[in-house]
Amino acid sequence: MVGYRPFGTTGVRISSLTLGAMNFGERGNPDHEDGIRIIHRALDEGITAIDTADVYSQGESEQIVGKALEGGRRDDVFLATKFHGQIGDDPRHRGNSRRWIIRAVENSLRRLRTDWIDLYQAHRPEPDTDFDETLGALTDLVRQGKIRYIGTSTFEPSAIVEGQWIARRRGRERVVSEQPPYSILARGVEREVLPVAQRYGLAVIPWSPLAGGWLSGQYHAGLDAPVSRRVDRLPARFDPTLPANAAKLAAVAELTALADEAGLSLIHLAIAFVLEHPAVTSAIIGPRTLAHLESQLGATKVTLSRDVLDRIDEIVPPGTTLNPADAGYEPPSLADPARRRRSAGGVR
């Protein structure tokens, strides 16, 4: 069975693994009954937290989760979802504004077939929207009983701190959790995000502990990347011919050998590593099939020795993300040249 850990300073305890529902629906596994079976199996094994988002298969993931929790299973589940991503073709149907949040939460509640959401998360920052606008809307939803807690996902350290100060100054409900990308291959959050979360008592529920499948055992030197929609959609992260991904492939080879020496599967090594960090509350696993789930459940029983952890540090040094594309978010200050140039010709 999966153990339990404190969810920040809220007094809530959740399982050390969270079932991520990103792969349920058209984007991953379109079989609703299969998705429901996976969810029920996870709950039977002691997983108490489920994480989804309105944008996952354009609401279909939430629908599958909602159907799976009918019949009395909802009350014992810590249910998390997210807003921000665009729904449908209308570019106005997205974002972190009060107007969209109020509409988005009602849509999520309907799809999830529930009266409340335990954790409602901003899926990404939106620098052009005042964070106080976002927190004001979320505070109202907490006071209405529609959501219990507020979280963020893939926020930069400065934004995490800003959220805490806004809550204090403006009397808003505070953000209680952060959901960053974290794996052996993407350790950038160790520099500031995880220490900041610890300083402010935030729960941390990392996504992609298997580095988008790189640490699942599918990737080997000399082989083409596995064929999948994710590979086609995100070549910057998965094309093995790119130098940053070649570096990941080399690291995977060393990590595979290390796991063999330790008598572990690479999957268990990867998830156990994420759970080892004292800031981490629960690692999000995102199985597409029942076999994927079964291969990941046993990771909570693994304790990595100091020698193994030291070897991991040698292969991928602390604070290092081998491919910047795996960071999950590039701030507009870097992505948009207009934000860092006074004119097309630069400052003279």
| Residue 56 annotated among the catalytic residues of the structure | yes
Smallest CA-to-CA distance from 49 within 68, 76, 83 is with 76
Rg (CA), the chain: 20
Among 4, 56, 120, 182, the one annotated catalytic? 56
Tokens 């850990």 sit at which residue?
Answer: 5
The SS3 call for residue 189 is helix
Measured over all CA atoms, what is the biggest interatomic distance in the chain, rounded to whole angstroms? 67
Query: 271 Cβ partners below 8 Å, 6+ apart?
Result: 17, 209, 210, 283, 285, 296, 299, 300, 302
Structure tokens at 173: 């409900």
175 near 146, Cβ under 8 Å?
no
Smallest CA-to-CA distance from 262 within 305, 313, 316 is with 305
Number of H helices, E strands in the chain: 13, 10
68 near 35, Cβ under 8 Å?
yes
Q: Which positions are catalytic? A: 56
